[in-house]
Chains A and B, each alone.
Chain A
Amino acid sequence: MNITRRQMLILLPAAAVAWEAVLAGTPEASSNYKMSDHWWGMLIDIPKCIGCGNCVRACQTENDVPDGHFRTWVERYHRSDWPMTESGEVTANPLIVPEVISPDGGKEGFPVATDESGKYFFVPKMCNHCADSPCTQVCPVGATFISPDGVVLVDQTYCLGCAYCVQACPYGCRYIHPTKEVADKCTLCYHRITKGLTTACCEACPTGARQLVDLKDPKDPIHEFLKTHSVQVLKPQMATGAKLFYNDLDGSVR
């Protein structure tokens, strides 16, 4: 291919502009990330979740999550109407015994709902990045810890693989990695958020049902959201200081 001087003069500035665009899309280097400036959490807007499983797939791809284990998963709740016998006797309390499924963590979506009665809704789950996390409390060597910016992490070069943390998590968010044989869990895509990006699951969510929030950032919309919505955490009785905020959480969810 022959490129004339004239073509070169046109191409070079175009390439420079393109390169600028590439650089602009690249997250900034983490050197100017200050941990003390952030306190991370996540907002899950239940009415917005459509159960597509994009977040689960994105997480698996981004973090190389082994099959059959989940850093995030989606549950579908079915809270039926009050079941009654023909004689009018109430047989169960659907608030206490909802019907829950999560086939393969909801990775490939969900089967079509067949029951017309009651209500269906999706609940994405992941590590709650608790401020008073029971899992970091029990680690015998301190291999799992809360980072200064509020993320629960595991030092996998240090973890013994005793699985005490797996037992201590009330939400079932941890597992032992089948080949690394150490504790594994959601890192809130720490490698991304410290570079100014959002998490893979938030990035992939088509409806904005998941939002990374920085509670130390006064401009974060979370503050307004928390003022105007009914927001809850999972299992508040566990007093874990969970930072996964659920909007419009149904009482049957556990």
Chain B
Amino acid sequence: MNGVEGYMYPNEITLYWSVLIVLYPYITGLVAGAFILASLERVFRVEAVKPTYRLALLTALAFLLVAPLPLVLHLGHPFRSPEMYFTPHSTSAMAMFGYVYMWYLMAVLVFEIWLDYRREIVLLSQSSTGLLRLIYKVMTLGSTNISPRSLAIDERVGWIVTLIGIPSAFLLHGYVGFIFGSIKANPWWSSPLMPVVFIFSAMVSGIAGVMLLYMGINKLRKQAIDMRCVDTIAMYMFYIYIIDFSLEMLDLVHRIYEANESFNSLNFMVHTKLYFSQIVLQICLGTITPLVLLFLTQVVKLPEIARKYMYVISGCLALIGVLAMRWNVVIGGQLFSKSFLGYTTYKMALATKEGLIVAIFLTLLPLLFLWVLVKLLPPWPEKSAPAPAAAD
């Protein structure tokens, strides 16, 4: 009956958190990860990753703009969502979303990008014409002073914003993990490790995402890929992935060894309904394979072309693995009965408000936003930017 095995409480048969709620932590994770990569250069002075700094910031912004869409679309009454700002419920983890999101968007990302691009924006507002000129004029926010002293202040303020941005990125995504980890009714979610695992997997996905974008865009622009940069990114991705994998395995081993009342039920689920997405996609293909590939690039001296291929493959696999992890958390957490006596099935719709088509659209939408942002604020060195006009 209805894809139910064993006994489910009758209200549990339908899943209320769909594929869109899988996308939400995935997208915010990409934001947080991309930002952490940007901060490597800015705060931790890892000069090698400089070529990706601006691209990482723009990627973070493009994904952050899309992040609330899956949440709002999944609501029964999307137009009531502003109530979360006006009348937030103090005991609800979810009520914080609006504030964390706004803080991160306005106080961190947009502010930092504006500071970083201010000189270019001012120059572009003088050299461009027509509608574009108007857009750049608005983007200057009336601040056209680009004297060396003023730019030095920008630099210092930007550094502080990035510094604040790191804990903010952790907050943004750790908090998403907390939304799941704090639900005591659900043993698949309820774990203090959840926010930490979310943060580290977010960093992996964000770093992988920016690395792939950097390599892909340079390929499209027929520019040489800075191997020192990509090697460094891959190294960070490898180390962070090790931490992420260790934490996930710790969680798994802990569950297996403790074997509390929910264990049999969850164990059965992992070996049946979640077998493909958890064991095959998330752990074997999405985690162990890229870890082995990245390990090889670290210990064996490989030619450039081989490293490139290995980075691309491990980056793609990491993105798939992290998406599978989000799926297993969100969907897996609703497949078993809280009576521990049965299982239901998730039937993804195709063309509904929460269907597959919308999900694919929302996954691709950030790339469209990124394209616009890159056109507006080119992240590459200035030689490809329009000739600068005289500055004051």
Contacts and interface: CB of A to CB of B under 8 A. Distances in A.
B369 interface: no
Contact of B10 (A102, A166, A181, A254): A102
Nearest to A100: B7
Contacts of B339: 100, 172, 254
B187 to A, nearest CB: 10
Contact of B16 (A100, A125, A166, A254): A166
A254 B81 CA distance: 35
Contacts of A175: 11, 14, 16
A175 B10 CA distance: 10
Interface stretch (B89-97, B201-209, B285-293): B89-97
Nearest to A144: B89
A168 B183 CA distance: 6
A234 B97 CA distance: 32
Contacts of B71: 162
Contacts of A174: 11
B338 interface: yes
Interface in A157-177: 158-164, 166-176
A73 B10 contact: yes
A99 B7 CA distance: 8
Interface string A2-35: 0000000000000000000000000000000000
A140 B9 contact: no
A100 B93 CA distance: 34
B185 A238 contact: yes
A189 interface: no
A72 B305 CA distance: 64
Nearest to B180: A167
B17 A167 contact: yes
A244 to B, nearest CB: 14
B288 to A, nearest CB: 30
A245 B75 CA distance: 34
Size category, A interface: 35 or more
B87 interface: yes
| Most B Cβ at <10 Å: residue of A73, A99, A138 | A138
A182 interface: yes
A140 B92 contact: yes
Nearest to B186: A167
Size category, B interface: 35 or more
Interface in B1-35: 7-14, 16-17
B92 A161 contact: no
A78 B179 CA distance: 36
A252 to B, nearest CB: 10
A141 interface: yes
Interface string A111-154: 00000000000000100000000101111111000000000000
B364 interface: no
Contacts of A176: 14, 16, 76
B84 interface: yes
A226 interface: no
A173 B11 CA distance: 7
B89 A140 contact: yes
B11 A159 contact: no
A102 B7 contact: yes
Interface string A35-64: 000000000000000000000000000000
Interface in B91-135: 91-95, 97
Interface string B352-380: 00000000000000000000000000000
A160 B93 CA distance: 15
Given A167-B183, A167-B186, A171-B338, A158 B80 contact: yes
Contact of B77 (A104, A173, A181): A181
A238 B183 CA distance: 11
Given A100-B7, A163-B16, A142 B77 contact: no
A160 B75 contact: yes
Given A97-B341, A170-B338, A171-B9, A140 B95 contact: yes
B77 A182 contact: yes
A172 B14 contact: no
B11 A140 contact: no
B11 A69 contact: yes
Contact of B11 (A104, A172, A182): A172
Contacts of A181: 76-77
A161 B77 contact: yes
Interface in A211-254: 238, 254
A101 interface: yes
A69 B12 CA distance: 9
Interface string A59-89: 0000000001110010100000000000000
Contact of A162 (B12, B74, B340): B74
Interface of B: 7-14, 16-17, 71, 74-77, 80-81, 83-84, 87-89, 91-95, 97, 179, 183-186, 264, 333-334, 337-341
Given A138-B91, A141-B89, A238-B184, 13 more contacts: A73-B10, A105-B10, A137-B91, A137-B92, A140-B89, A159-B77, A159-B80, A160-B83, A162-B76, A164-B92, A167-B186, A172-B337, A176-B16
30 contacts: A68-B13, A70-B10, A75-B7, A96-B264, A100-B7, A100-B339, A101-B7, A105-B10, A140-B84, A140-B89, A140-B97, A142-B87, A159-B80, A160-B76, A160-B77, A160-B81, A160-B84, A161-B77, A162-B74, A163-B16, A163-B76, A167-B17, A167-B183, A167-B185, A172-B9, A172-B11, A172-B12, A172-B338, A172-B339, A181-B76
10 tightest Cβ-Cβ pairs between the two chains A and B: A161-B76, A181-B76, A172-B9, A170-B185, A163-B16, A142-B89, A140-B94, A140-B95, A100-B7, A175-B11
